[in-house]
Structure 1
C-alpha cells in the first residue's frame, strides 16, 4: 500500500468520523447542516458572487494576455487525447448528472417562481432560461478553467506534484510541503468529496424517478440506497481499470447517448420554437451577464432568498467541484497552450450547456405555457420524465435517460476516486487501487448519510460550507499562477537577449 501520506491518513480519519456521525446521529447532523447553510448563505453571499465574477474576468484576461502562448507542458509535448475525446471527458467529469437532473426542472422552476416579477408568464419563461444559463455557463466553467490551468501548468511544465498546495509555491515557497500544504490539500479533498456527493445524491434520486415511470418502483430512500450500492460496485470496477480504459470509454459512451437524447428532443419537440428560443435567450444572457452575476437584492428579502437558494448555491457547488474537475481536466490537457485551453474549457462547454437547457427547459416551458400541461407542478427529479410522457417515444427516451444517468453516475464517481486518490498520494497520476477503492467507499457512504440526514438540503449545505475555505485557496492560486507566468516571460526575454 504505497503512498499512504499524511494527507490520506488524516482525510480518511475525518471522513470516517463524519460518516459515523451521520450513521448514528442523522437528525443531529441534519439540524447542524441547516444552521450552517443559513449562516453562510446570509453572511457570505456577496463574497461568493464576487469570487465567481473574479474567476470569469481572470479567465478572459488570460485568453487575451501575452501568457496565452505558454504551453501546459514542455515545449515538445503534444496533446495526449484527441479533441473530441478531450471534450467528452470535460463534460462527463464536469456536469453530466446535473444537466439531466436540472435540464427541464430548473428552467421550469424559474419560469414558475422567477427571481423577480410574476411567474408563469412569457417574460418569466425568458428570465428563467437566462438565469439557468447564468448558473451553468461562463462563471462555472471559468472557475474550472482557472483552477485546471494552474494545476496543469505546475504539474506538466514545472514538474510539481499534481496537488492544490503545489500551485501555491510561488507565494508560499517551501512551506507548501509542511502543515500549511497538508491543510490546503485536506480542504480540497473534502470540497471534492461533498461536491461529488451532491451529484451522486441527485443521480440516485433521478434514476429512482425514472424506474418509477418505467416499472412503478416506489420513490424512497431504500430504493435510492440500493441504486447507490449497485452503482458503487460498477464505478469501483471501472476505477480499477485506469483512466485510459474505464473513464475514457465511459466518457465516449456518455457523449454518444447524450447526443442521441439531445437530437431526439430537438426533433420530437417544438423544433423551430426551441431554435428561436435558444438564439434569443443566448443574446439576453450575454447582454445581462454582469448584472445577473452580481445580483443580491439587498432591499427585498424574498428576492434575496431566491438568489441565495439558487445562484449562491451554484457558485459554491462549482467552487467545491473545482479541485475534482480541475485536476481531472488538468490530467487530460497536457500539451495544450494557455489560450487554447482556456477558450476550449470556457466557451465550448458553456455553449453546449446553454443549448442543452434551451432544448430541455424550452420543451418543458412550451408544454406548460403554450399547451397547458402542468410541468411546473412536478418535482425536480420527475420533471424530465413527465415531459417525456407528452412526447412521442417517451418510454424509449426514459430508458435512454436512465442509462445515461447511470453512466454519468459511474463516470463522475470513477473520476472522483481517481482525483481523491491523486490528492492524497502526493499527486500520483496512477494512485493504487487500494487508495481509489477506499475513497470510493467513503464517497458512497458520505452520500448516503447526507441523504439520510436531510436529503438535498444536507447535500447543498455540505457544498456551501466546504466551498468557503476553498474559495480563498483558489484566489491565492490565481495570484500564484499569474506570478509564475510573469517569471516565465521574464526569463524567456532574458534568454533571448543573451542569444
Structure 2
C-alpha cells in the first residue's frame, strides 16, 4: 500500500517540477506550446465543451429526481458529518471563493464596456453584462463539480473505495485495472491539475491582495510585499492544515460566508438598492429564459473569438478545477442523500453567486461607462476602483481584503488536504507531513511564477486547462459508471 502511495506522490512531484522548470527556463517555448494546445482545443473543441457542460446540468437534475435520489452517500443509517451551513460554507469556499471577489465587478464591467454584438455602455449592454456573468458562474460550473463529487462520494462512502478520482472507474473496468497503470495515470493527472490550478489562483489572489493594500493604504506593489503576503498566507493555512478539517477549514469557511453576507448587506445599503433588486430579478429571468439557447451558442458565423476568450475558457477552467473541488466536496458529503447533495451543490451556491454579481455588478455599472473603462484597466483593482466611488467604500474594500485573505487560506488549505488524499491512496485524513509538503510546493510555485514573469501565472493557467482536457472524458465516463453502480443497488 505504501509503495502505491509513494508512486503517485513522487511521479506527481516530478511532473509538476518538470513543467515548472520548463516554464521558467524556456518561457517562450513553454508559452508557445501551452497557447498552441489551448488554442487548438478552443478552436476545434468548443462544441465539445458546450455539449459536455450541458450534459452535466441535465444529469445532475435528472439523478436528483430519479429513483436514485433517496440513496445515501454512505450506509443507510449514516448521518451527515457537518451541519447544512458548514457544509455549504466549505463547498462554496472551495468551489469559487477567491474567483468571485476577483471577477465580481471586473467581469460585468468588461461585458458592459465590450458587449457582444452591441454598443457598450447602453441599457442593453448592462443586461448582457449581468446575464453573461450569471451564465458563466451559475448552474454549469456547479453541475461540473457535482457530477465528479457525486461519483466520488458514492464510491468512497457507499462502496468503501479509496478517495481517488480513479475509483469512479471501478464499475466500468474493475478494481484490478484501476489499481494498475490506468488508474495511476488518472490520479497523477488529477494531482497536476490541482497543483497548477490552485497555484495559479493563489498567485492571482496575491496580486489582488497587494493591489487592494496599495489602493487602500498606499502599500507599494513590489516583489518584497508579495513575498510577505504569500508567506503570511502560507503560515496561516499551514496552521489551519495542521488543525484539521473539522476545525481549520470548517471555521474559516464559516467566516468566509459570514464576511460575504456582510459585504452583500453593505452593498445593498450604500449601493442603488432598488436597482440591484431589479437587476437580480431581471437577470434571473433572462438567465432562465435563454438558458438552453446560451448553453449551445457558439456563433460559428460571427464573433466566435469572444466565446473562446469567455465561455469556452470558463468551461475549460471549471473542468480543470473539478478534480480538486470534486474530491473536496465528496470528502465532506458523507451521509447525505443524492437529492440533498445535488440541491446543496447545484442550487444554493448558484443562487449565492447570482446575488453577488447582482450587487457588485450593478454597483459597478451604476457608475457609468467612464468609471467602467477605468476599472477594467486592471482586473485586480477593478473592485476597489468601483468601491472608492461609494460612501463607506474604503470600509467595504478593507473587509474585502480580509475576505480575500480568508478565501485565500481556505483554498490553499482545502487543496493541501485534497493533494494529501490524492497522493496517499485516497486516505480520508492524510498525514500532516504530506499536507505540509504540498502546501509548501503550492506556495513556492505561485511565488516563483509571480517573481519570474508577469505572464508566468497565465502560462500555467493555460497549461493546466490544456492538460485538464482529458478530465472531460473522465467525468463523462464517471456519469456512466455511477449509473451502472446505482442499478445494482438493492430495494430499488
Specify the TM-score bucket, using the shorter chain as the normaliser. over 0.9
> Structure 1 unaligned runs (5+)?
494-499
Inter-CA distance 216–340: structure 2 relative to 1 (3 Å threshold): same
Inter-CA distance 167–24: structure 2 relative to 1 (3 Å threshold): same
What is residue 279 of structure 1 aligned with on the other side? 281
Query: After superposition, where does 1:1-12 map in structure 2 within 5 Å?
Result: 4-12=5-13
How far apart, CA to CA, are the structure 1 residues paired with 2:304 and 2:200?
A: 23
Asked if the contact 1:450/1:458 (under 8 Å) is kept, the reply is no
What is residue 98 of structure 1 aligned with on the other side? 99
How far apart, CA to CA, are the structure 1 residues paired with 2:203 and 2:52?
A: 26
Inter-CA distance 450–114: structure 2 relative to 1 (3 Å threshold): farther
What is residue 153 of structure 1 aligned with on the other side? 154
What is residue 305 of structure 2 aligned with on the other side? 305
Q: What whole-Å deviation, never above 9, does each CA across 1:315-340 have from its counterpart, x for those lacking one?
A: 11111111111111111111110011
What is residue 440 of structure 1 aligned with on the other side? 439
Q: What whole-Å deviation, never above 9, does each CA across 1:263-291 have from its counterpart, x for those lacking one?
A: 11111100010000100000100111112
SS of residue in 2 equivalent to 1:151: helix
What is residue 421 of structure 1 aligned with on the other side? 420
What is residue 358 of structure 2 aligned with on the other side? 358
SS of residue in 1 equivalent to 2:263: helix
Q: What whole-Å deviation, never above 9, does each CA across 1:91-134 have from its counterpart, x for those lacking one?
A: 11111100000000001101111133222211011111111111
| Offset, 1:51 | 0.9
Asked if the contact 1:40/1:464 (under 8 Å) is kept, the reply is no
Inter-CA distance 414–105: structure 2 relative to 1 (3 Å threshold): same
TM-score, structure 2 normalization:
0.95
Inter-CA distance 54–221: structure 2 relative to 1 (3 Å threshold): farther
Query: After superposition, where does 1:155-304 map in structure 2 within 5 Å?
Result: 155-173=156-174, 174-219=176-221, 223-300=225-302, 303-304=303-304
Inter-CA distance 276–412: structure 2 relative to 1 (3 Å threshold): same
User: Across the two proteins, how many residue pairs are aligned to each other?
Assistant: 488
Asked if the contact 1:104/1:383 (under 8 Å) is kept, the reply is yes
What is residue 44 of structure 2 aligned with on the other side? 43
Farther-moved stretch of structure 1 (438-447 vs 372-381): 372-381
How far apart, CA to CA, are the structure 2 residues paired with 1:264 and 1:16?
A: 44
Asked if the contact 1:7/1:182 (under 8 Å) is kept, the reply is yes
Farther-moved stretch of structure 1 (333-342 vs 434-443): 434-443
| Offset, 1:27 | 3.9
What is residue 69 of structure 2 aligned with on the other side? 68
| Offset, 1:229 | 2.9
Query: After superposition, where does 1:52-91 map in structure 2 within 5 Å?
Result: 52-91=53-92
Inter-CA distance 114–63: structure 2 relative to 1 (3 Å threshold): same
How far apart, CA to CA, are the structure 1 residues paired with 2:2 and 2:390?
A: 53
Asked if the contact 1:364/1:375 (under 8 Å) is kept, the reply is no
| Offset, 1:193 | 1.6
How far apart, CA to CA, are the structure 2 residues paired with 1:476 and 1:49?
A: 17
Q: What whole-Å deviation, never above 9, does each CA across 1:406-454 have from its counterpart, x for those lacking one?
A: 1100100100000011011111011112211111122223333444342
TM-score, structure 1 normalization:
0.94
How far apart, CA to CA, are the structure 1 residues paired with 2:107 and 2:180?
A: 44
| Runs of 4+ deviating beyond 6 Å | none
Q: What whole-Å deviation, never above 9, does each CA across 1:52-101 have from its counterpart, x for those lacking one?
A: 11101111111221110111010010111111111111111111100000
How far apart, CA to CA, are the structure 1 residues paired with 2:443 and 2:29?
A: 20
SS of residue in 1 equivalent to 2:380: coil
Asked if the contact 1:103/1:361 (under 8 Å) is kept, the reply is yes
| Offset, 1:178 | 0.5
Asked if the contact 2:375/2:381 (under 8 Å) is kept, the reply is no
How far apart, CA to CA, are the structure 1 residues paired with 2:165 and 2:372?
A: 48
What is residue 496 of structure 1 aligned with on the other side? none
What is residue 396 of structure 2 aligned with on the other side? 397
What is residue 458 of structure 1 aligned with on the other side? 459
How far apart, CA to CA, are the structure 1 residues paired with 2:345 and 2:197?
A: 19
How far apart, CA to CA, are the structure 2 residues paired with 1:162 and 1:146?
A: 15
SS of residue in 2 equivalent to 1:265: helix
How far apart, CA to CA, are the structure 2 residues paired with 1:72 and 1:379?
A: 44
Q: What whole-Å deviation, never above 9, does each CA across 1:379-408 have from its counterpart, x for those lacking one?
A: 211110011111111221111111110110
Q: What whole-Å deviation, never above 9, does each CA across 1:194-225 have from its counterpart, x for those lacking one?
A: 22223212211110110111222333555434
Inter-CA distance 2–237: structure 2 relative to 1 (3 Å threshold): farther
Inter-CA distance 381–430: structure 2 relative to 1 (3 Å threshold): same
How far apart, CA to CA, are the structure 2 residues paired with 1:415 and 1:219?
A: 27
Asked if the contact 1:136/1:353 (under 8 Å) is kept, the reply is yes
How far apart, CA to CA, are the structure 1 residues paired with 2:479 and 2:423?
A: 22
What is residue 407 of structure 1 aligned with on the other side? 406
How far apart, CA to CA, are the structure 2 residues paired with 1:2 and 1:375?
A: 55
Farther-moved stretch of structure 1 (375-384 vs 444-453): 444-453
Asked if the contact 2:375/2:385 (under 8 Å) is kept, the reply is no
SS of residue in 2 equivalent to 1:381: helix
